[in-house]
Amino acid sequence: MTPKKDDLIDSQNSGFFQDLVLRVKVLWRLMGDRRVNFLLKLLPLFSLIYLISPIDLLPGLTLPVIGALDDAAVVWIGTSLFMNLVPEGIVREHLNALQRVVSGSWRDAPEEPQPDDIIEADARDPDEA
């Protein structure tokens, strides 16, 4: 059984914000991918335009909580629909490329080489046989 596209991003090993950042990065990469249909790219674009446009289906002044939720729902539906309509192989390719990035932390080099860091070897020129 193949996993669904929503299951490609493993949210069990990461937090909510890491998952959100990863989804945004995948979305950004898919928007720049030439293999993705131009008409599909209009879905997240129009949902973001709706978010910043002054035209609103449910204005926030009359319904304060619902007015904000409908904006978030339109963005979520637009981006989710886009991610589900893009071929799974392309989504997986970009996701794998992003997950291959090695995260690390800064560490100062030791002052002097430790005995375990020294490797005894003879030097030779690889061009000479």
Residue 82: how many CB atoms within 10 A of its CB? Answer: 20
Task: Check residue 124 and give its pLDDT.
Answer: 82
List the structure tokens of 98.
């992003």
Task: Check residue 127 and give its pLDDT.
Answer: 80
Task: Check residue 67 and give its pLDDT.
Answer: 67
> With the CA atoms of 13, 16, 21 and 23 taken in that order, what torsion angle do they form, in degrees rounded to the nearest 10?
80
Query: What are the C-alpha distances in Å from 129 to residues 33, 102, 121, 125?
Result: 46, 37, 18, 8
Task: Check residue 128 and give its pLDDT.
Answer: 77
| pTM attached to this predicted model | 0.60
Q: Tens of pLDDT along 68-127?
A: 777 788 888 999 999 999 999 999 998 888 887 665 666 666 566 666 766 777 888 888
CB 5 within 8 A of CB 88: yes
Task: Check residue 114 and give its pLDDT.
Answer: 65
**Choice between 73 and 9, residue whose per-residue pLDDT is larger:** 73
Q: Tens of pLDDT along 23-80?
A: 889 999 999 999 999 999 999 999 888 888 777 666 666 666 676 777 788 888 999 9
